[in-house]
Homo-oligomer: A and B are copies of this chain.
Amino acid sequence: MKKESALIVGSLAFDDLEMPSGVFNDVLGGAATYASITASLLTPVRLVGVVGNDFPAAVLEDLKKRGVDTAGVEHADGKSFRWRGKYADDLMSRTTLDTQLGVFADFRPKIPAQFKRTPFVLLGNIHPALQLEVLAQMDRPKLVVADTMNFWITGEPKLLGEVLKKVDLLVINDEETRDLTGIHNIVKAAADIRKRGPSRLIIKRGEHGALYFDDTGMFFAPGYPLEEVVDPTGAGDSFAGGLLGYIARVGDVDHQTVRRAMYFGAAMGSFCVEGIGPKRLLEVTPKELAERMKLFTALVDTGGPVALND
């Protein structure tokens, strides 16, 4: 294990969550927050983002204690990014009630000099122009992972196309996959996306797990079936952070490293949904992570090869 560093660029935010179980205001949120918390359970993290005057210094202090270098977190005059959403009773869908970009509206990521050689990079779900600006500042990373969303797929297809040409591994969900390609079949859509640039692609399917596509073929990792799901917010970002955190920890980009990394991503996602916001994630101990990985191993254990022997 090399424990190389992972650079994570994206939003730090507050979420107001209207859950079936009640309303939770001022919950720590943001894609980069979730991804940093989960990646830092596995490897040193370098965080790039922006916060407003209202962002508690204590949160950044806590991230630092977890091995997150916050030198790339800009402090801007104004309010932090805030998202308000309401979840359906079964938590399977959600509606955005309000988005206040705040200081995030004028965010131009500046990569500190000492971050420019970070080998593993996660471009969170930000404007593709900003994703390109980040890449322009980096010095030959080993692996660039990117997320995006329907808003950019629809609104900035050309710039997003430029991003796709420059990333190694795109991580999106199945709905985004279909929106990006106009192809319903996931396997065909994956082939279409890989032709546009990223040689590797992960398609997240929520509780149904995630598919990975590269030149060696197709891989599937399940989600862990949980008895209690409290709040799905940040699960996808937790997956991405766990994924990149594990890859950086191992320090290579072999396809089997990525395959195993998906289980760590899934484990982080499974912890994430067990609490409101990042509450549960912030409590996860190395022992708990090891136990969750054992549960995952048991979940898919066939006790031997699956083949006819006669």
Residues of A at under 8 Å CB distance from B?
1, 42, 90, 184-188, 205, 208-209, 211, 217-220, 222, 225-229, 249, 256, 259-260, 263-264, 286, 289-290, 293-294, 296-310
Contacts and interface: CB of A to CB of B under 8 A. Distances in A.
Nearest to A293: B307
Nearest to A261: B306
Nearest to A305: B297
Given A208-B208, A222-B220, A310-B1, A302 B256 contact: yes
B308 A290 contact: yes
Interface centre among A211, A259, A263, A304 (most CB of B within 10 A): A259
Contact of A301 (B259, B289, B310): B259
Nearest to A255: B303
B187 A227 contact: yes
Contacts of A310: 1
A293 B309 contact: no
A208 B306 CA distance: 19
A307 B302 contact: no
Nearest to A212: B299
A208 B307 CA distance: 21
A227 B185 contact: yes
Contacts of A308: 1, 42, 249, 286, 289-290, 293
A33 to B, nearest CB: 23
Q: How many copies does the complex hold?
A: 2
11 contacts: A42-B308, A187-B226, A208-B208, A208-B209, A209-B209, A211-B225, A220-B222, A220-B300, A256-B302, A289-B308, A297-B305
A303 B263 CA distance: 13
A256 B304 contact: yes
Contacts of A225: 186-187, 211, 218, 220
Contacts of A296: 306
Nearest to A296: B306
B219 A188 contact: no
Contact of A259 (B222, B302, B307): B302
A288 B186 CA distance: 23
B307 A297 contact: yes
A249 B307 CA distance: 12
A227 B218 CA distance: 12
